[in-house]
């Protein structure tokens, strides 16, 4: 009887060690990078916006704008000059959705946004919502965010083999130094090397256009220190125009 108890105890000890080992391995494994996943946002307004974007594809655009609210707000009434001066000539389709993070853009790319079109240039500006700790539970590190942005670029070149990508650095944020802006700047350092990994990617950082003489975000161009206003958007596409024309050729 004693021998049987000893054997049972040994088996139990081995099982316990195995469970502890498995749990430790699970805890020590690298966490999943949400920024590089495919995530559909819930909400009727978001799905309706996605459908609206897809319905615009029949215009056969030469330029597509891939991003979040910084592009979405181009559709406000006071931005008409931006379109007449810079965007209409390319039959540009605005694919920006307010609040989108990299993972949401990845989902949209994988679910219809690029079907049946053959644009020459994709302007990509995404990432500031990934570092927003006020409205989101998950904050991406610069490395995670850069991986998500690279996945977007990779999907674009895979689905649109003829595309040239004008990848914009994340714009400055805030009226004073802050953690979110620091994460964005660190991300820009990483994504600035993407042209070395993929010749279809062309990086441009126009952050300095939005800073005043003291190096702070110019409130005259970004009244909320995040979104360019009408003047700020005109300044954006004036700064991008030469590169867009070059890539169009």
pLDDT in tens, 103-143: 999 999 999 999 999 999 999 999 999 999 999 999 999 99
- The CA-to-CA distance between both ends of the chain, in Å, stands at 87
Q: Quick one: pLDDT at residue 30?
A: 60
CA distance 88 to 145: 31
Confidence of residue 26 (pLDDT cuts 50, 70, 90): very low
DSSP 147-166: HHHHHHHHHHHHH-TT-EEE
Q: What would the pLDDT profile of 219-239 be if each residue is shown by its tens digit?
A: 999 999 999 999 999 999 999
Q: Is the pLDDT of residue 213 over 60?
A: yes
On the 0-12 / 13-18 / 19+ scale of CB atoms within 10 A, 152 is: buried
Number of other CB atoms surrounding residue 27 within 10 Å = 7
Strand partners, 85: none
Helix 102-110 to helix 142-159 angle, to the nearest 10 degrees? 20
Q: Quick one: pLDDT at residue 25?
A: 38
Number of other CB atoms surrounding residue 203 within 10 Å = 17
pTM of the model: 0.88
SS3 202: strand
Give percent of the chain with pLDDT exceeding 90.
Answer: 87
CA distance 143 to 139: 11
Q: Is the pLDDT of residue 78 over 90?
A: yes
Higher pLDDT, 170 or 3: 170
- Residue 108, φ and ψ in degrees, nearest 5: -65, -40
Number of other CB atoms surrounding residue 82 within 10 Å = 23
Instruction: State the average pLDDT for the chain.
Output: 91
Copy the structure tokens of residue 203.
Answer: 């990086």
Contact 163, 123 (CB under 8 A): no
- Residue identified by tokens 């609210």 is 69
Number of other CB atoms surrounding residue 118 within 10 Å = 12
CA distance 145 to 101: 9
């Amino acid at each position: 009887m004693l021998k049987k108890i000893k054997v049972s105890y040994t088996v139990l000890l081995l099982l316990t060690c195995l469970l502890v080992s498995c749990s430790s391995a699970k805890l020590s494994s690298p966490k999943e990078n949400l920024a590089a996943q495919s995530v559909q946002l819930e909400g009727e307004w978001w799905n309706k916006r996605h459908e609206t974007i897809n319905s615009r594809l029949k215009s056969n655009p030469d330029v597509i704008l891939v991003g979040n609210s910084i592009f979405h707000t181009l559709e406000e009434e006071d931005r008409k000059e931006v379109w007449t001066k810079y965007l209409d000539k390319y039959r540009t389709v605005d694919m920006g959705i307010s609040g989108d993070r990299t993972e949401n853009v990845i989902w949209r790319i994988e679910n219809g946004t690029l079907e049946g079109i053959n644009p020459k240039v994709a302007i990509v500006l995404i990432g500031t919502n990934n570092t927003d700790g006020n409205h989101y539970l998950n904050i991406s590190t610069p490395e995670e965010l850069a991986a998500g942005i690279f996945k977007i670029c990779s999907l674009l070149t895979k689905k649109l083999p003829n595309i040239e990508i004008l990848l914009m650095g994340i714009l400055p944020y805030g009226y004073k130094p802050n953690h979110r802006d620091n994460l964005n700047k660190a991300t820009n350092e990483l994504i600035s090397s993407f042209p070395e990994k993929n010749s279809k990617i062309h990086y441009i950082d126009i952050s300095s256009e939005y800073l005043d003489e003291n190096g702070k975000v110019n409130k005259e161009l970004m009244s909320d220190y995040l979104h360019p206003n009408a003047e700020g958007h005109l300044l954006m596409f004036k700064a991008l125009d030469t590169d867009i024309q070059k890539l169009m050729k």
